[in-house]
Structure 1
């Protein structure tokens, strides 16, 4: 999806998060900005969790980066710091919603909900990946590998990742035997073996080909 304003908002971002650059972007746009990211598009089970974050660049948590590059302990610490210092919204799209819409549409719909749920009104949303939701255009710009390039997206990636991981740990307590706390719903060998033994649950994404093949 392209931005309706063309090059007006086609703002280049560095290859690593840079607070000074994002401050300049805010000045250029004449308003606050926010980052949007998700966790859990690929797993066979569990929800996809989306987060939008508008940072206070005068009170940045130390060490923001792509959540995948951080240890679990660092993500947990940053999660608390982000909630204390930033405006945050979260949307959870269930396996049922994913099956009804497909994973891309469910994710994009969640991004729109998150954007509209923020307590502030950003001038621009920077979205991790190739697609920015059409309802957010022209106030949205997709950034490939944005979670490692934009601090606001990094923060959103951390919030989404921590919240989803916690949900999958709780799911393991509710539906034991599948190893959700360990593999978080991804199609690992242990998960495949558990599915053969215990069967498909309501928490699995039935529209995903490996799960559909088991039904």
Structure 2
């Protein structure tokens, strides 16, 4: 997991940032990106793609990453902007803002499968980077825990939708809640199940 970082350090790069986002697929809630610069002297065991870890392990690692890293930042892009610029552009924007928000300017960036020509920093886009690079994995873990916590709070606000369980993804329960209770401000209106629910409600009112 540290092979990319070790090679870059050997080439003289000092501050290597990893960046990743979570929340492309959900029908509700923000897309969340995180950027992290790990401390080369603090090896963190167990880093992996956040989706391959249990919630408990992710939370433990997120605390450890934040305490041991040199810098990290988190960015939210809300559903209104996702609908306006599309999820791909929203994901990229969140990643770029996270990189630019780091308190230490990185001299190299590792991104999870996202080309980032706009950042004017040398970078490498790695397919499945969150399972190949410790730095990208760390970013994915922080972003995932952050977004999950946001959706859990949303679940308290709207208990009938079950956000704390499905985190906004298009589960059977979530789609049923859309049809039963309607569309909320936190929903992405351009996503098909939400779009369909809106137009179903419009038809019913006519």
TM over 0.5: yes
| Whole-Å separation in 2 of the counterparts to 1:29 and 1:184 | 41
Kindly indicate whether the alpha-carbon contact (under 8 Å) linking 2:107 and 2:121 is maintained by their aligned counterparts in 1. no
Please name the residue that 2:201 is paired with.
none
The aligned length equals 197
Q: 2:111 aligns with which of 127, 134, 139?
A: 127
2:39 corresponds to 1:56 = yes
Q: 2:82 aligns with which of 90, 98, 120?
A: 98
2:76 corresponds to 1:116 = no
**CA offset at residue 60 of structure 1?**
2.3
Consecutive unaligned residues in structure 1, runs of 5 or more: 1-16
Kindly indicate whether the alpha-carbon contact (under 8 Å) linking 2:27 and 2:191 is maintained by their aligned counterparts in 1. yes
Deviations 1:119-138 (A, max 9, x none): 11111111102x22231245
Please name the residue that 2:13 is paired with.
30
| Structure with the larger helix share | 2
TM-score (norm 1): 0.88
SS of the equivalent of 1:206 reads coil
Please name the residue that 2:135 is paired with.
152
| Whole-Å separation in 1 of the counterparts to 2:193 and 2:64 | 38
| Whole-Å separation in 1 of the counterparts to 2:25 and 2:58 | 20
Deviations 1:125-179 (A, max 9, x none): 11102x2223124522211100000000000000000000000000001112001
Deviations 1:18-67 (A, max 9, x none): x2541221221533211000110110000000000000121122211111
Consecutive unaligned residues in structure 2, runs of 5 or more: 199-206
Query: Residues 37-48 of structure 1 correspond to what in structure 2 (within 5 A)?
Result: 37-48=20-31
SS of the equivalent of 2:64 reads helix
2:90 corresponds to 1:88 = no
